[in-house]
Amino acid sequence: MQPAKPDAATAAENRDYAQQRALMVERYVAARGVKDPRVLEAMRQTPRHLFVPQVVRAKSYGESALPIGAGQTISQPWIVGRMIELLELNGSEKVLEVGTGTGYQACVLSKVAARVFSIERINELALRAVELVRELKLHNVSVKVFDGTYGWSDQAPFDRIIVAATAPELPEPLVQQLGRGGTLVIPLGRSDDQRLARVRRVGTGIQIEDCGPASFVPLIGRFGWKDEEKAK
Ligand code: SAM
């Protein structure tokens, strides 16, 4: 255990992180086209350095994805901003996230949506996410360990669904759990050939819009890839 830092040192460190965060948002998120002021402000407020292991903490306000353990990554700041912007949130929505990781995106979502339900298949990552949700007092975020390709049926329908891992095709349970007028944002394709899709529920059908290239780890599960090799 590290000795507790004096208050003044902690306050100075927090100011420094806040400055780094503001620069990250300006250079790597806003400069790359994300405009929604609520999303940009939520990212300015979210301490990304807490969601990565100590060994990569110095890089936490750069532009890259970073390892978070168990062979998984925290997504690039730009793609987090882009995907959340594509959800077109006004703050009243109930959101399902599939692929919690250590909870960074769930924390950003908690500031721009009413309620966030997030599913992670790897226990150790979900445990860290739960710890951070508690530490940061995010009272509107729930995390569970499960195969997220099944969705979260007893909380459905959702106004928005966001998937942080690439799927071979639209997971049917997620489409079923999307409420009327709802939107699902999900990367589709193999590890080296992915596109971001925005799916809207319109009446009894769906409309799919291509939103450009993406680069995510595979969505592994019953309605995803069967294993990492198959996604290559
Ligand atoms: N949202 C995370 C963040 O903000 O840092 C990034 C998550 S990482 C890019 C994708 C995550 O999806 C991994 O932690 C992986 O274990 C998880 N995942 C893959 N398949 C899954 C599934 N079927 N259900 C739930 N989580 C899954």
For the segment 55-112, what is each residue's pLDDT rounded down to a tens digit?
999 999 999 999 999 999 999 999 999 999 999 999 999 999 999 999 999 999 999 9
Pocket-testing residue among 78, 220, 228, ligand 1, by greatest number of atoms within 8 A of Cβ? 220
Q: Where do the structural domains in the chain lie, given as residue ranges? A: 65-231
**For the chain, what is the mean pLDDT?**
95
Give the predicted TM-score (pTM) of the model.
0.96
pLDDT, position 227: 86
Residue 118 annotated to the active site: no
Fold entry, domain 65-231: Rossmann fold (3.40.50)
On the question of a cis peptide bond just before residue 77, with omega within 30 degrees of 0, the verdict is: no
Separation of alpha carbons 214 and 1, rounded Å: 39
Which ligand 1 atom minimizes the distance to the CA of 80? 4
Separation of alpha carbons 23 and 85, rounded Å: 19
Which of these is catalytic: 75, 118, 153, 191?
75
